[in-house]
Structure 1
Amino acid sequence: YDALTLEYPSYDLIGIFRFSEPWFNLQTLAITPWQENVRLWSEPADGNFRGVTTFYSVQRFFRSMHRNLMMPERTGVPIVTFMAFPLFISLVAGFIVYKKFWLGFFKRPRFEKRVRVWSGDLHRLVGLWTSWFIVLVALSSIWYFVEEMGGSSPGFPGPERRMLDRDSALPFGFSGDDLELAVGNALDELPGLEVRRILLPRAPNSPLIIQGDLSATLVRPRANGVYIDPSNLSVIGSYVGEELNVHTRISEAADPLHFGYFGGLATKILWFLLGLSMSAMTLTGVVIYSKRLRNEIMVSRSDNSRVALREVRKS
């Protein structure tokens, strides 16, 4: 914190975020005096400043494309999440069309046959093995659609005690030592908390919020939190994932299940491979349809030729 404020004293720091993997730098989101969102990077071990990048990156591009098609969120998110309905319907239709599908889990694609045959075999095989993943992605996307249409979960429990009055978002002279003490108080409040997010107050009536992973499963890091009064660094409230209501727990489980980060690097790699397999099914589907369409066109042309020849003979 001190290194960042020394390097960019005029920047408005929003929060400090730590990734789950230890080889990533700490990320601090900030707003410049000219109102540009940037990312400040720091060494986790000693806090030394490493560099600054724009908020918009390759990761942000893919996130925005995936989430809202680079459109305004109020327009793009409903469009993207609504596609979960035809995805789910197509999966159910596939099981209906594929008779005795349970026999196909270990059926080897017939690569020695024509493209139309082996691409169909491969399409069915991949579809069977990824069916549970497709259901998971579809259901979590439907949940996102419900949230976007007004079914958002209630907010987290707020502070239990009032803060001391102050005139600014952070008290004058607030330093990295104060932040370290605040984190220590948060750990005393919730022993075992693995701090992942430190949200700095944005207004004089806002608390310092420290969030992270604790004992609740299938929740985002924000599901466990401690509220700190920046004036005296005392704990004014806390909450844990197990105490959240059912609606909020479902909402918090959507991201870990949809993106597959609940099990660390292993589930991330698995989700990547499953997503790649789903994407490959679009290619095999195109091949199957194009081959079928080509055959229908050839049959139609053959029928038309026979009709024309018959007419010539009659004349």
Structure 2
Amino acid sequence: MGQPSPVQTDHRKPRGRRLWFDLHSWVGLKLCLFLGFVCFTGTLAVLAHEIDWLLHPEIRVAPGPERISWGAMLAAARSAHPDWEISAIEAPEGSRFAARVRARTPEGRLRFVWVDPYRGQVTGDTHWFNAHRFLRNTHRHLMLPVLYGVPLVAALSIPLVITLVSSLYIYRHWWRGFFVRPRGDRPRRFWGDLHRLAGVWSLGFIALMALTGTWYLVESLGGGAEPPAKLQAGQAQGDAGPASAAVVDRAVAEARARWPAFEVRVVRPAGVGGTLLIEGEAEAVLVRPRANAMAFDVAEGRWVGTRDGRDMDVHQRIAEMADPLHFGNFAGLPVKLVWFVFGALLTTLCITGVYLYGLRIADALRSGQRRATRRRAAEAAA
């Protein structure tokens, strides 16, 4: 995490701090570009929805006094694209975001239809492969086949753990470094102090990324948890088809009445297995919306069953909380911004670490040249 003092780099202790420093430098140098790229794309992925908001005017809406019903949003999307198959309606990311409707065209292309949640108007549609999908796929598996890309990226958690542990060992009394101002008398000293300062402030975040990355590696190698239990399918007669807007509103009202703490985040009206599925947030914290769900008969909106995130076992809870903790998408934009800042610090650590290594090599070359010059002068004088 930083350049050690002369005491820390004492060559008389090859198996002490010097060994940890050499390990830290070697891992950082070999993987700097790869790790830096993954950190950079992950940092941008934290604000991927906000980036799409900036890029696509269809997503931007003006806040209104109150939001329309879920059924009204479904009706608006169907009215604009009656021949498109709608699979899900997702709650807006913020007060100035449109609601996102996942749809498939008759040709089989995936599209997002955007609906103003205050006025019930379709603002437009965009391609499925947006900035969010590009950044997530790049960060998660480098656009490689998932079977190979995910474990390749997740394996970076191992060198991340090595750099974390080694930095604590080579930077003595690191807890005193939170408010140490970088010294500017020499470039190497300044960048070394800056590297240490960024590293100290990022310790907790690095540990979190290492832990969640290790979990992704375990998942990719077959150690993932079973998905949340499936809810019983409704007893639809024949092919009931997708739920109507009226049935959606009836089911949402029933869900709120049965579970007052339940906040609807996703409505799936496609009627798979005769079931209308509603997912959301409730008492279970740090889980994805799918962990809390209620199922209703697609034809009449009768309640079928409930899935409570609090009923999951430890293995499932770990699986569900990995994504919210990794990307900071569990408490709105303020937490996302914190994750973005620390992600930028982690990316900076990759860059400054390599730069410091280059400065150290340059200093060593200059020192060698000065010694050679003095030796030649001494030989000439003799």
Aligned to 2:123, what secondary structure does the other structure show?
strand
Aligned to 2:192: 120
Q: Which has the higher contact order (CA 8 A, sep 6+)?
A: 2
Equivalent-residue separation in structure 1 for 2:98 and 2:315 (angstroms):
33
Could you tell me which of 131, 156, 179 is aligned with 2:203?
Answer: 131
**Structure 1 segment 259-270 matched on structure 2, within 5 A:** 259-270=327-338
Aligned to 1:14: 87
**Structure 1 segment 219-298 matched on structure 2, within 5 A:** 219-298=287-366
**Structure 1 segment 21-60 matched on structure 2, within 5 A:** 21-60=94-133
Aligned to 1:248, what secondary structure does the other structure show?
helix
Aligned to 2:268: 199
**Structure 1 segment 170-185 matched on structure 2, within 5 A:** 170=242, 174-185=243-254
Aligned to 2:229: 157
Cα deviations across residues 10-57 of structure 1 (Å, max 9, x unaligned)?
211111111342221100111111111111000112322110000111
Equivalent-residue separation in structure 1 for 2:108 and 2:215 (angstroms):
33
Unaligned ranges ≥5, structure 2: 1-73
Aligned to 1:5, what secondary structure does the other structure show?
helix
Aligned to 2:147: 74
Identical-residue share of aligned pairs (%): 35
**2:233–2:274: 8 Å Cα contact kept in structure 1?**
no
Which stretches of structure 1, 4 residues or more, deviate above 4 A after TM superposition?
300-314
Structure 1 residues 22 and 166: alpha-carbon distance in aligned structure 2, compared to 1, 3 A threshold: farther
Aligned to 2:46: none
**2:263–2:282: 8 Å Cα contact kept in structure 1?**
yes
Give the deviation of 1:264 after TM superposition.
Answer: 2.0
Q: How many residues align?
A: 309
Give the deviation of 1:304 after TM superposition.
Answer: 6.2
Give the deviation of 1:114 after TM superposition.
Answer: 0.9
**1:189–1:235: 8 Å Cα contact kept in structure 2?**
no
Equivalent-residue separation in structure 2 for 1:72 and 1:311 (angstroms):
64
Q: CA RMSD in A?
A: 2.3
**2:295–2:305: 8 Å Cα contact kept in structure 1?**
yes
Structure 1 residues 156 and 266: alpha-carbon distance in aligned structure 2, compared to 1, 3 A threshold: same
Structure 1 residues 228 and 16: alpha-carbon distance in aligned structure 2, compared to 1, 3 A threshold: same
**1:189–1:226: 8 Å Cα contact kept in structure 2?**
no
Equivalent-residue separation in structure 1 for 2:226 and 2:121 (angstroms):
38
Report the residue type matching 2:171 in the other structure. Y
**1:196–1:212: 8 Å Cα contact kept in structure 2?**
yes
Give the deviation of 1:202 after TM superposition.
Answer: 6.0
Aligned to 1:109, what secondary structure does the other structure show?
coil
Equivalent-residue separation in structure 1 for 2:274 and 2:292 (angstroms):
18
Give the deviation of 1:311 after TM superposition.
Answer: 9.7
**1:41–1:50: 8 Å Cα contact kept in structure 2?**
yes
**1:166–1:231: 8 Å Cα contact kept in structure 2?**
no
In terms of mean alpha carbon deviation, does 285-294 or 194-203 score higher? Answer: 194-203
**Structure 1 segment 82-93 matched on structure 2, within 5 A:** 82-93=155-166
Equivalent-residue separation in structure 2 for 1:262 and 1:268 (angstroms):
8
Structure 1 residues 160 and 273: alpha-carbon distance in aligned structure 2, compared to 1, 3 A threshold: same
Structure 1 residues 233 and 56: alpha-carbon distance in aligned structure 2, compared to 1, 3 A threshold: same
Cα deviations across residues 184-232 of structure 1 (Å, max 9, x unaligned)?
12222322311101123364x2521100111211111222100111022
